[in-house]
Structure 1
Amino acid sequence: MILIVNKRLLSGRFKGISLWPFVILGNKGLKQDPCFLNHEKIHLRQQLELLIIFFYLWYFFEWLVRFIKYGNSLSAYRNISFEREAYRREQDLSYLSTRPFWAFLKFL
């Protein structure tokens, strides 16, 4: 994981984003937030499992399906299986050591 702090690369709606192998942070303080970093590490693992490019394709397709369903960009984002897994497990700092392969499928 390579951390980059640059708030200009992010819209005001996001504190950070994982673009394998980088995690772009909106501010330096996030480097000290273990739950936030765990959330982003979960995304990095998901990206590796789907050979990176398939993660982004799946992410966009699932966001589109959720947007059609909910009619709202934020609701669509929050209900993407990758995000659901990361948000639900971000506080479990040992999660990645026991996480099964393709665990995001449980959150579809």
Structure 2
Amino acid sequence: MFVVVLSHLFRKNFIGITLFPFIFLRDPKLKENKTLINHETIHIIQQVELLVIPFYIWYLTEYLFRLIQYKNQHKAYRNISFEREAYANEKNPNYLKERKFYNFLKYI
């Protein structure tokens, strides 16, 4: 995992994104944000589990389904199973040590 700061690529409402094996952040100070780094690291593990490309296909498909379901971009994003798992566990520093394989399925 590599953490990279690319402030000019982010819109106001985005602070980070994970594209295996990189975590891209808007601001260098965010490197110290343990909750954010844990959240993005959960996404790294999810991507590895699904062999990267299928993760992105699933993520986009689920986002589009949720967008139809909720008719709201933010609500659709927050209800993607991968995001639900990451947000639910981002404050637990031990989560990745305890996490079961394919645990995001519990959040569908």
TM range (shorter): over 0.9
Unmatched 5+ stretches in structure 1: none
TM-score, structure 2 normalization: 0.98
Superposed displacement of residue 11, structure 1: 2.1
Query: Which amino acid in 2 is paired with 1:49?
Result: E
1:87: which partner in 2? 87
Aligned to 1:102: 102
1:93 Cα offset (Å): 0.5
- State the percentage of identical aligned residues: 49
* Partner Cα distance (2:97, 2:45) in 1: 11
TM-score (norm 1): 0.98
Which aligned pairs between 1:61-72 and structure 2 lie closer than 5 A?
Answer: 61-72=61-72
Structure 2 residues not aligned, in runs of 5+: none
Segments of 4+ moved more than 6 angstroms: none
Q: Deviations over 1:51-95 (max 9, x none)?
A: 000000000000000000000111100000000000000000000
Local SS of the residue matching 1:23: strand
Alignment of 1:1-108 (within 5 A): 1-108=1-108
